[in-house]
């Protein structure tokens, strides 16, 4: 919690400090001012004040006002030792101007350069530098105009005063703002740091500058006073001459008395003689003769003088300095002769010189020393009695009358006339050393010390001549070099400050940036290290020369080398210089290292690195170039141990090889068939089965080489496989060999699906079953067909009969069963031989077949017996037609080895009408019995079974 009381207390302390700083730096600044006036090359408080407003705002204005006021009062006080009303007015005026300037300047800077500021950007610093002289126009203009209107500076000095004021404030601001900010500015950390980098160099430069300025300005002042010294000497010399001239005047006058030693010097004599001398010495106000008159002689003396001057009396000054008749004294020195004698001097005739103590003293000394003695500065009796002057008194003794001569000198005239021509350039002060009284003084009130002093002895007294250059002299002889040097130097100091601000700001920023970046880098390095240390992949970083600069623990582990064994080594030479087989490759040929040159990432699924123990490590590698500012600076290589994968690969390759071999050498045909039916992999056995070479076969589809009759069933199965209804199927089918011969095979097919159960391809196993088919056919033939005639045998007949019977019953269709027995066949056999008999039998079978439709069945029951199933018989008539056709056919002779033979057949016909109760056996029996009927009826005929 902030204590409001402590804030107030702080505010008071800060205000006091600001006032103190203002007054002290102001006083110091003014000490550098060139006389006359306020022309200081630097006025630090102006800068402090503006900086204070810039930092703290307008709350500091009262302190600035007070500081300025006190400073100017102090200046006025030290000048005059007492504060006059004008001093107060000036101080108030300047305080208002200073506070206004500080307020507007601080506000403007705050507006342009936001506070808190590090004041280090060139834009801010230039803004400050441009703003400073503009801001400082305020106080200079207001204050100097004020001083002019108060009559404190001459019109002619206005511009130089204004300019030096303005420059002083500007330089004060330029120099002090950075220093003030160093002292109290925020951000504190930055400004505090700058006390060494900015404040110290600036203050040292500042101090050196001031020392140089003081030395140079002293020298310059000395130079400027050369003329003053000459003038002072001139004045002094003239004064000496003038003093001596008065001694001469009095000496010449005394000669009159020596010359007329025995006679009385008459007024006439005196007038004539002294008037000539007086003409030669116009600065002498009057030359007087005052005889010594004793009290006893007083009456006669007065009486005698009264003849010339009515109401003559010996007079003296009373307490009010009024001339009254002298009181009685032992003796008197009444002024008797006076040149010039005019209205103003006539009044002092009769005045007893000895009635005034200082003059009496001089008279006595003159008489005793017998020399010209000057009186102390004294108020002359002439005019209103206020005028200062002195008298040079010379004793006359041993002549007709004793007395004193006195030369009266009016200070204003006597010295003024002398000093007047120098008045513009030199202040003169002439002091009577003994009394300390000034005979002449045109020094200013506040000037005490002189620059030139000379002592004189005149009339037995000591006088001191002091001279001092006037403001005008200074004005005319002012050497601006030192001031200019100081101003330029201060500007340079400010400029140096500015450069230091920019420089230190830049340095601080860079330092901070470096610090921050270092932290970030450290952070990111630790993070990087942390991440990389936990990674399953090996990582190493190389510089542009392929030298390792970083490795992670996994890389060290995989390569079997410690970090120190890896760092600083060339990665390629150390563990990637040769492949498993073949000769070593150079780093330039190495694709991982070549990333440096190609500037493109390189990815390899398989590379070989070498373990320290000499064993190969199979790795996948990702080599990425590192760039900084578009310049490649190295590579980051991430590698992963793929030994496990490699083992599996080897195993797979081996198993694939075995698998291929198995397929290749399998005794059955094996094929991988794409989903659209194309053979993609086939083995030799399959090629052999279908008569195509491997290349020919894999250009074909199974559809192309499937026997057309078998295709639909095959495709049906395939569809069911694809639909997932079945996993495998088996079928016997035929392919068409390359030579167009169908070949029977047994196909076993399955489908391969990926992990998403999406069908990928078919796997087909194909077995050549041609031989089995033939065998089966033969067996079938034997089982169901008669070997001799190739007609269906009894077994087949029975099956066919069964079918016919069921179909007949099902469809309510009729069929007819013919039972045939060749007539007298035994006889043929017996006479012509068994072979002939066989021929007859085959011919009979052939003729029977030629009489029926393909849908009918002709079978040999055995011996010379045949049975025909005549399907779809609409009536007995159909059977009758066939019977007749057969008989007719049999009527044709049979050619056996060139001999014509005739054979007849007896036919028995049983027509089945769909009666479900009738069995095969019954039916056969009926046909058989009908046949017997035909035999019995004479053979070579047909009979229908009748139930009677």
Ligand X SMILES: Nc1nc2c(ncn2[C@@H]2O[C@H](COP(=O)(O)OP(=O)(O)OP(=O)(O)O)[C@@H](O)[C@H]2O)c(=O)[nH]1
> Which residue number is nearest to ligand X in terms of Cβ?
837
Least Å distance, CB 823 to ligand X, is: 5
CA distance 76 to 93: 13
CA distance 66 to 116: 26
Least Å distance, CB 862 to ligand X, is: 7
Q: Is 719 in the site for ligand X (CB under 6 A)?
A: no
**Closer residue to ligand X (CB): 313 or 843:** 843
**Closer residue to ligand X (CB): 813 or 935:** 935
Are 923 and 855 contacting, i.e. CB atoms less than 8 angstroms apart?
Answer: no
β-partners of residue 543 are 634
Q: Is 303 in the site for ligand X (CB under 6 A)?
A: no
CA distances from 192 to 45, 60, 125, 196 (A): 21, 22, 19, 8
Least Å distance, CB 912 to ligand X, is: 25
Least Å distance, CB 822 to ligand X, is: 6
Least Å distance, CB 829 to ligand X, is: 4
Binders of ligand X among residues 816 to 835 (CB under 6 A) are: 821, 823-827, 829, 834
Q: Is 811 in the site for ligand X (CB under 6 A)?
A: no
- The correct pick among 168, 185, 625, 837 for binding ligand X (CB under 6 A) is 837
> One of 120, 710, 864, 928 is an active-site residue; which one?
864
Count of residues in contact with ligand X, rule CB under 6 A: 13
What torsion, rounded to 10 degrees, do the Cα atoms 507, 512, 518, 521 define? -120
If you ran DSSP here, which 8-state letter would residue 348 be given?
Answer: T
Could you report how far apart the first and last alpha carbons of the chain are, in Å?
A: 142
Least Å distance, CB 830 to ligand X, is: 7
- The correct pick among 601, 708, 863, 893 for binding ligand X (CB under 6 A) is 863
**Closer residue to ligand X (CB): 314 or 841:** 841
Cα–Cα–Cα angle for 665, 669, 675, rounded to 5 degrees: 125
CA distance 481 to 760: 103
CA distance 860 to 864: 8
913 is catalytic: no
Q: Are strands 616-628 and 602-610 parallel, antiparallel or unpaired?
A: antiparallel
Name every residue whose Cβ is closer than 8 Å to that of residue 460 and which is 6 or more positions away in sequence.
365, 366, 369, 371, 372, 373, 374
If you ran DSSP here, which 8-state letter would residue 157 be given?
Answer: G
Q: Is 611 in the site for ligand X (CB under 6 A)?
A: no
Scored b (16 or more CB within 10 A) or e, 811-830 reads: eebbbbbbbbbbbebeebbe
**Closer residue to ligand X (CB): 703 or 829:** 829
Q: Is 843 in the site for ligand X (CB under 6 A)?
A: no
Name every residue whose Cβ is closer than 8 Å to that of residue 485 and which is 6 or more positions away in sequence.
212, 213, 216
Are 819 and 923 contacting, i.e. CB atoms less than 8 angstroms apart?
Answer: no
CA distance 535 to 229: 95
**Closer residue to ligand X (CB): 455 or 838:** 838
Binding track, positions 864-903, relative to ligand X; x by CB under 6 A: x---------------------------------------
Task: Give the three-state DSSP class for 541.
Answer: strand
Least Å distance, CB 901 to ligand X, is: 13
Binders of ligand X among residues 41 to 100 (CB under 6 A) are: none
Enter the tokens of residue 943. Answer: 């009979």
- How many beta carbons lie within 10 A of that of residue 929, not counting itself? 15
CA distance 244 to 238: 10
Q: Is 776 in the site for ligand X (CB under 6 A)?
A: no
Are 36 and 471 contacting, i.e. CB atoms less than 8 angstroms apart?
Answer: yes
**Closer residue to ligand X (CB): 240 or 925:** 925
Least Å distance, CB 875 to ligand X, is: 29
**Per the omega criterion (within 30 degrees of 0), is the bond before 821 cis?**
no
Are 907 and 886 contacting, i.e. CB atoms less than 8 angstroms apart?
Answer: yes
Least Å distance, CB 934 to ligand X, is: 10
Q: Is 641 in the site for ligand X (CB under 6 A)?
A: no
Based on the number of CB atoms within 10 Å of its own CB, is 80 exposed (0-12), middle (13-18) or buried (19 or more)? middle
CA distance 308 to 592: 143
Least Å distance, CB 940 to ligand X, is: 10
Binders of ligand X among residues 912 to 941 (CB under 6 A) are: 935
**Closer residue to ligand X (CB): 223 or 838:** 838
Q: What are the phi and psi torsion angles at 537 (to 5°)? A: -95, 150
Least Å distance, CB 856 to ligand X, is: 23
The Cα diameter of the chain in Å comes to 249
**Per the omega criterion (within 30 degrees of 0), is the bond before 89 cis?**
no
CA distance 192 to 185: 8
Enter the tokens of residue 603. Answer: 């990815």
**Closer residue to ligand X (CB): 95 or 845:** 845
Q: Is 352 in the site for ligand X (CB under 6 A)?
A: no
**Closer residue to ligand X (CB): 47 or 837:** 837
**Closer residue to ligand X (CB): 675 or 832:** 832
**Closer residue to ligand X (CB): 834 or 877:** 834
Summarize as ranges the residues that interact with ligand X (CB under 6 A): 821, 823-827, 829, 834, 837-838, 863-864, 935
Catalytic residue numbers? 864
């Amino acid at each position: 919690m902030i204590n409001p009381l402590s804030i107030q207390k702080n505010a008071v302390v800060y205000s006091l400090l600001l006032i103190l700083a203002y007054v002290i730096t102001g006083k110091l600044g003014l000490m550098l001012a060139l006389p006359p006036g306020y022309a200081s090359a630097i006025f630090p408080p102006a800068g402090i004040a503006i900086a204070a407003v810039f930092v703290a705002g307008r709350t500091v204005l009262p302190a600035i006002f007070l500081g300025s006021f006190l400073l100017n009062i102090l200046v006025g006080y030290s000048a005059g030792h007492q504060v006059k009303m004008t001093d107060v007015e000036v101080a108030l005026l300047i305080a208002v101007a200073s506070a206004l300037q500080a307020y507007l300047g601080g506000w403007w800077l705050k507006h342009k350069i936001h506070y808190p500021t590090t004041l280090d950007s060139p834009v801010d610093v230039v803004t400050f530098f441009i703003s400073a002289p503009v801001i400082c126009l305020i106080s200079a203009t207001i204050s100097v105009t004020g001083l002019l209107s108060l009559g404190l500076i001459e019109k002619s000095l206005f511009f130089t005063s204004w300019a030096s004021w303005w420059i002083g404030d500007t330089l004060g601001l330029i120099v002090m703002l950075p220093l003030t900010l160093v002292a109290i500015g925020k951000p504190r950390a930055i400004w505090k740091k700058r006390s060494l980098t900015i404040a110290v160099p600036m203050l040292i430069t500042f101090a050196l500058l001031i020392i140089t300025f003081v030395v140079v300005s002293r020298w310059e002042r000395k130079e400027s006073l050369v003329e003053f010294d000459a003038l002072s000497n001139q004045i002094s010399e003239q004064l000496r001459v003038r003093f001596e001239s008065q001694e001469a005047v009095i000496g010449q006058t005394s000669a009159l008395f020596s010359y007329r030693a025995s006679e009385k010097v008459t007024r006439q004599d005196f007038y004539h003689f002294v008037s000539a001398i007086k003409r030669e010495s116009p600065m002498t106000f009057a030359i007087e003769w005052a005889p010594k008159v004793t009290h006893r002689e007083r009456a006669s003396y007065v009486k005698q003088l009264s003849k010339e001057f009515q109401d003559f009396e010996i007079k003296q000054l009373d307490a009010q300095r009024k001339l009254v008749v002298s009181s009685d004294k032992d003796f008197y020195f009444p002024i008797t002769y006076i040149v010039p004698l005019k209205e103003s001097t006539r009044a002092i005739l009769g005045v007893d010189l000895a009635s005034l103590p200082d003059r009496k003293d001089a008279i006595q000394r003159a008489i005793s020393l017998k020399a010209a003695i000057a009186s102390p500065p004294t108020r002359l009796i002439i005019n209103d009695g206020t005028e200062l002057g002195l008298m040079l008194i010379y004793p006359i003794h041993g002549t007709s009358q004793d007395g004193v001569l006195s030369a009266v000198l009016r200070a204003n005239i006597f010295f003024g006339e002398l000093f007047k021509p120098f008045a513009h350039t030199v202040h003169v002060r002439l002091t009577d050393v003994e009394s300390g009284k000034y005979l002449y003084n045109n020094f200013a009130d506040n000037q005490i010390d002189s620059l030139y002093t000379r002592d004189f002895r005149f009339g037995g007294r000591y006088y001191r001549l002091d001279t001092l250059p006037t403001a005008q002299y200074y004005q005319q002889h002012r050497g601006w070099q030192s001031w200019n040097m100081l101003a330029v130097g201060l500007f340079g100091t400010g400029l140096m400050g500015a450069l230091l601000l920019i420089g230190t700001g830049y340095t601080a920023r860079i330092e901070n940036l470096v610090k921050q970046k270092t932290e970030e880098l450290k952070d990111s390095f630790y993070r990087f290290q942390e991440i990389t240390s936990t990674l399953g992949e090996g990582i190493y970083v190389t510089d542009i020369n392929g030298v390792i600069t970083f490795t992670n623990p996994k890389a060290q582990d995989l390569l079997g080398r410690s970090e120190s064994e890896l760092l600083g080594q060339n990665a390629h030479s150390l563990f990637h210089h040769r492949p498993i087989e073949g000769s070593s490759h150079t780093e330039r040929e190495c694709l991982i290292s070549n990333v440096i040159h190609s500037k493109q990432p390189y990815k390899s699924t398989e590379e070989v690195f070498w373990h320290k123990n000499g064993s190969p490590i199979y790795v996948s590698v990702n080599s990425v170039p590192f760039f900084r500012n578009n310049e490649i600076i190295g590579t980051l290589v991430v590698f992963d141990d793929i030994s496990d994968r490699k083992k599996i690969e080897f195993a797979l390759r081996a198993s694939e090889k075995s698998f291929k071999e198995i397929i290749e050498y399998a005794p059955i045909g094996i094929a991988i068939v794409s989903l659209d039916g194309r053979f993609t992999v086939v083995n030799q056995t399959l090629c052999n089965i279908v008569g195509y070479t491997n290349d020919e076969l894999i250009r074909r589809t199974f559809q192309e080489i499937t026997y057309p009759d078998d295709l639909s069933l095959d495709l049906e199965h395939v569809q069911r496989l694809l639909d997932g209804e079945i996993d495998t199927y088996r079928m016997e089918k035929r392919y068409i060999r390359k030579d167009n011969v169908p070949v029977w095979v047994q196909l076993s097919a399955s489908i391969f699906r990926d992990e998403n159960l999406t069908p990928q391809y078919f796997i087909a196993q194909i077995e050549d079953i041609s031989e089995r088919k033939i065998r089966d056919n033969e067996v079938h033939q034997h089982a169901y067909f008669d070997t001799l005639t190739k007609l269906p045998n009894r077994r087949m007949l029975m099956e066919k009969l069964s079918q016919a019977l069921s179909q007949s019953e099902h469809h309510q269709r009729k069929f007819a069963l013919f039972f045939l027995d060749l007539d007298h066949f035994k006889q043929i056999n017996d006479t012509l031989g068994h072979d002939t008999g066989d021929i007859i039998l085959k011919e009979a079978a052939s003729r029977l077949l030629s009489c029926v439709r393909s849908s009918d069945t002709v079978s040999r029951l055995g011996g010379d017996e045949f049975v025909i199933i005549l399907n779809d018989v609409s009536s007995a008539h159909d059977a009758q037609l066939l019977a007749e056709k057969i008989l007719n056919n049999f009527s044709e002779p049979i050619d056996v080895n060139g001999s014509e033979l005739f054979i007849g057949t007896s036919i028995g016909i049983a027509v089945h009408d769909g009666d479900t109760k009738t069995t095969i056996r019954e039916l056969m029996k009926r046909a058989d019995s009908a046949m017997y009927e035909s035999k019995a009826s004479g053979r070579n005929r047909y009979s229908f079974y009748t139930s009677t």
